[in-house]
C-alpha cells in the first residue's frame, strides 16, 4: 500500500467512531403526553426524564396535549396517535380509554388510573400483556376507606353523596364499593352525576336540604375543573366533603385521602425510559401506590362548624391551618 493511501485509510478509520457517535447523538425519540392541566404532573414527568438522560431538543421531543373537555380528550388522543411517537404517557382513566382506542400498538404508560385490571386496561398487574402498563392511583376497594374516614370526621353523618362524572370510566367500580360499604357505616349512599357547573350547584343544593349529609367528589375532569366551585358550595352549605387529591383542599375542601399524582408521574417516567431503551410494556408490571395520604383542612373545618376529634387528627398525615 502506498504511503498516501495508508494515511487516508488510517484517517478514515479514526473518523468512523466519531461519525457514528454523532449519528447516535442525532437520534431523536418522540414521546406523546396526554395530561390533566390542573394536576400539573406532566411537568414533573418531563423533569424526571431529563434526570434520566433525555434532554428535550437533543435526544427527545415531546408532543403534548392538555385537554380540558371530554370531546377534546378524544380529539387529542387521535392526533397524538397519528404522530406515531415512540411512547405515550397518559394521566387518567378517561385519557387512557381514549388513547387505548386510538394508539394501536404504540406503547402506553399511564399514571393515576384507578384499578386498571378492574377497568380492563391490563390483563393483570404482574403481566399486563399488550402495549399498556403504568402506575395505578387506586383500586376500587379504596372507596370504602373514603367513607370510613368521612364518617370518622363526622360521626353524626347519616347520608353521603357520591359526586362523579358519568363519562368517567372508573365511576361504576367505585360506586359498587360505596353502595356495598355504606350500610356497615350506618350511611345511606346516593349518586350525584354531574357534567357542568350548573349540575354541581343543583346537586349540592339538593343534598343540603336534608340534615347530616356529606359528599365524596370523585376525581375526574369535571370535578377537577370545578374544584373551587365544589369547595365553595360545600362550605356555604356546611357540607363535609372528601376528595382523592390534596389539590382540592387548596380550594377549600375539607379532607382528602389518596396518592400524590406528581410522585406517580415521576415513577411513570422510569417506565418510559425503559421502553425507549428497548423494553416492552407487557414485560413491565403495573405498580400500585406505595403511600396514601390523609389530609385535613382545619380552616375549612372551623368554617363549617366541625370539631374534628383528636383520635381522627392523630390519623392525619397533614393538617392544613
Per CATH, 28-138+260-283 and 140-259+293-320 having the same topology is answered: yes
291: three-class secondary structure by DSSP: coil
Report the pLDDT value the prediction gives residue 94, as an integer from 0 to 100.
87
User: Where exactly are the structural domains of the chain?
Assistant: 28-138+260-283, 140-259+293-320
Q: What fold does the segment set 28-138+260-283 form as a domain?
A: Rossmann fold (3.40.50)
231-256: average pLDDT: 92
- Give the contacts of 148 (CB within 8 A, at least 6 positions apart): 181, 185
DSSP code, position 169: T
Round the average pLDDT of the chain to a whole number and report it.
Answer: 89
What is the CATH number that goes with domain 140-259+293-320?
Answer: 3.40.50.2300
Report the pLDDT value the prediction gives residue 169, as an integer from 0 to 100.
82
Give the pLDDT confidence of 8-29 residue by residue, as tens digits. 444 554 444 544 444 445 489 9
Give the pLDDT confidence of 135-191 residue by residue, as tens digits. 998 888 889 999 999 999 999 999 999 999 988 888 999 999 999 999 999 999 999
CA distance 287 to 184: 30
122-130: average pLDDT: 94
Report the pLDDT value the prediction gives residue 261, as an integer from 0 to 100.
87
Q: Are β-strands 132-138 and 87-90 bridged in parallel, bridged antiparallel, or unpaired? A: unpaired
Question: What does 26-66 look like in DSSP terms, one character per residue?
Answer: H--EEEEEE--TTT-HHHHHHHHHHHTT--BTTTEEEEEE-
Give the pLDDT confidence of 246-288 residue by residue, as tens digits. 889 988 999 999 888 889 999 999 999 999 999 999 999 999 9
H helix intervals, 251-305: 261-276, 298-303
Amino acid at each position: 500500500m502506498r504511503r498516501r493511501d495508508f494515511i487516508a485509510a488510517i484517517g478514515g478509520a479514526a473518523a468512523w467512531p466519531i461519525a457514528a457517535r454523532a449519528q447516535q447523538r442525532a437520534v431523536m425519540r418522540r414521546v406523546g403526553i396526554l395530561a390533566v392541566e390542573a394536576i400539573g404532573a406532566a411537568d414533573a414527568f418531563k423533569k424526571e426524564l431529563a434526570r434520566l438522560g433525555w434532554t428535550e431538543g437533543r435526544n427527545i421531543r415531546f408532543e403534548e396535549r392538555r385537554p380540558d373537555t371530554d370531546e377534546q380528550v378524544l380529539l387529542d388522543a387521535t392526533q397524538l396517535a397519528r404522530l406515531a411517537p415512540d411512547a405515550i404517557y397518559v394521566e387518567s382513566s378517561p385519557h387512557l380509554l381514549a388513547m387505548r382506542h386510538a394508539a394501536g400498538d404504540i406503547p402506553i404508560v399511564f399514571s393515576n388510573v384507578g384499578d386498571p385490571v378492574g377497568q380492563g386496561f391490563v390483563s393483570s398487574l404482574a403481566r399486563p400483556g399488550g402495549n399498556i402498563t403504568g402506575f395505578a392511583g387506586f383500586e376500587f376497594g379504596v372507596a370504602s376507606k373514603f367513607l370510613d374516614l368521612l364518617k370518622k370526621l363526622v360521626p353524626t353523618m347519616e347520608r353521603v353523596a357520591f359526586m362523579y362524572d358519568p363519562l368517567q370510566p372508573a365511576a361504576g367500580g367505585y360506586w359498587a364499593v360505596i353502595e356495598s360499604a355504606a350500610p356497615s357505616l350506618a350511611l345511606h349512599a346516593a349518586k350525584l352525576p354531574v357534567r357542568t357547573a350548573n349540575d354541581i350547584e343543583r346537586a349540592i343544593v339538593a343534598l343540603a336540604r336534608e340534615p347530616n349529609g356529606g359528599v365524596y367528589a370523585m376525581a375526574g375532569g369535571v370535578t377537577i375543573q370545578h374544584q373551587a366551585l365544589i369547595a365553595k358550595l360545600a362550605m356555604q352549605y356546611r357540607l363535609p366533603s372528601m376528595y382523592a387529591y390534596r389539590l382540592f383542599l387548596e380550594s377549600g375542601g375539607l379532607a382528602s385521602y389518596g396518592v400524590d399524582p406528581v410522585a406517580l408521574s415521576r415513577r411513570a417516567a422510569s417506565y418510559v425510559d425503559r421502553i425507549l431503551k428497548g423494553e416492552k410494556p407487557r414485560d413491565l408490571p403495573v405498580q400500585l401506590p406505595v403511600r396514601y395520604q390523609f389530609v385535613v383542612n382545619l380552616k375549612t373545618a372551623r368554617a363549617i362548624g366541625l370539631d374534628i376529634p383528636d383520635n381522627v387528627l392523630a390519623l392525619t398525615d397533614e393538617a392544613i391551618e
